[in-house]
Amino acid sequence: MTPLIERFRDRLPVSAATPVVSLGEGSTPLLHAPRLGKLLGIDLWLKWEASNPTGSYKDRGMTVAVSKAAEQGAKAVICASTGNTSSSAAAYAARAGIPALILIPEGAIAGGKLIQTRALGAKVLEVRGDFDAALAGARELADRGTHALVNSLNPYRIEGQKTVVFEIVEELGGAPDAFVIPYGGGGNTRAYVKGLDEAGLTTPLWSIESDDRPHTLASAIKIQTPVHRPQVEASGARVVAVTDDEIVAAWLQLAREEGLFCEPSSAAGLAWLRRGTELQGARVVVTITGHGLKDPDIANKHAPPPVKVDADPDAIAAAAR
């Protein structure tokens, strides 16, 4: 697989001196979803970002951020995270051969993401506080110069993440009528805006947030104060809020209708589209940002449990009805 940095080298701030730290990120499937699209009244395309190496789109930005950190001689990387940034930072730091220090808000990170980060060898500190408090800590250590910050405040993250727009436009053979993505901290919204801008497009972008940011079950967008909010508001992206009930309904529907098991945050866009929006009839690309296995507890709560049965064909046949 061509590394993202090689595929888009001419549109990224890298040079021959940049060591490419890659795990085969990007070049993810763009799936037409005619059945779910018909139910929603749109020509629906799904950008399946869960097929990135650590299971979320964060790898697009992390390959550039960690490659640049390595180029600049960083001795370690640091981030605060609701989970996917930590898994990605841990993986790319391991690949680069440098340590990762991860600050997570106490009790607020999904099980799969935490296990993944631990397994990847990162040092994980669980901060007594929320995401904002963890981020403040990470910024302070970065300021002291001991660690390179790889949160989305790192501009190289945005650079890498913008490449998703180029892929979508290339694969569709043109721009869709709209892009729809989830909105947590807003770094990804800025990346799409930048990608659209550099591709010379004015396609509308909808960014879907939770109506209850501090408490939503969608852990990847559970961010009380989006660090990029001023830039998101100035960007022209249209921000809409959805409820947890809407997210859960959309998330289960995506899995059952199209076979894509994502984490709840990734279904925020579909949750909004299920309301029946002004996008009726339009060609819409919805980005599915992260994998369902990231958050097994949530799936366990909402998916039907297995039915116990004796090891007997008649019993199995009866239970199958």
Ligand X SMILES: *Cc1c(COP(=O)(O)O)cnc(C)c1O
List of residues contacting ligand X (CB under 6 A) = 56, 58, 84, 152, 182-189, 220-221, 263, 265-266, 289-290
**Residue 181: helix, strand or coil by DSSP?**
strand
Chain residue at closest Cβ approach to ligand X = 290
Q: Across the strands, what pairs with 180?
A: 206, 286
- Residue 157 tokens read as 């993250």
**Least Å from the CB of residue 204 to ligand X:** 17
Please report how close the Cβ of residue 16 comes to ligand X at its closest, in angstroms: 30
DSSP character at residue 266: G
For ligand X, the closer of residues 67 and 84 by Cβ is 84
Query: Least distance from C-beta 50 to ligand X, angstroms?
Result: 8
CB closer to ligand X out of 152 and 163: 152
The answer to whether 218 and 190 have CB atoms below 8 angstroms apart is no
80-114 burial string, b = 16+ CB within 10 Å, else e? bbbbbbbbbbbbbbbbbebbbbbbbbeebbbbbbb
Q: CA 258 to CA 185: how far, in whole Å? A: 28
Cα–Cα distance for residue pair 310/308, rounded to 1 Å? 7
How far is CA 119 from each of CA 94, 177, 294, 298, rounded to the nearest angstrom? 11, 41, 14, 21
The minimum distance between CB 269 and ligand X, in angstroms, equals: 10
- Residue 147 or 157: the one with the smaller Cβ distance to ligand X is 157
Residue closer to ligand X by CB (options 43, 206) is 206
The nearest distance, CB 55 to ligand X, in angstroms, is 8
Shortest distance (Å) from residue 56 CB to ligand X: 4
- The torsion angles phi and psi of 249, rounded to 5 degrees, stand at -60, -45
- HEC readout, 18-31: CCCCCCCCCCCCEE
Give the residue with the Cβ less far from ligand X, 185 or 195.
185
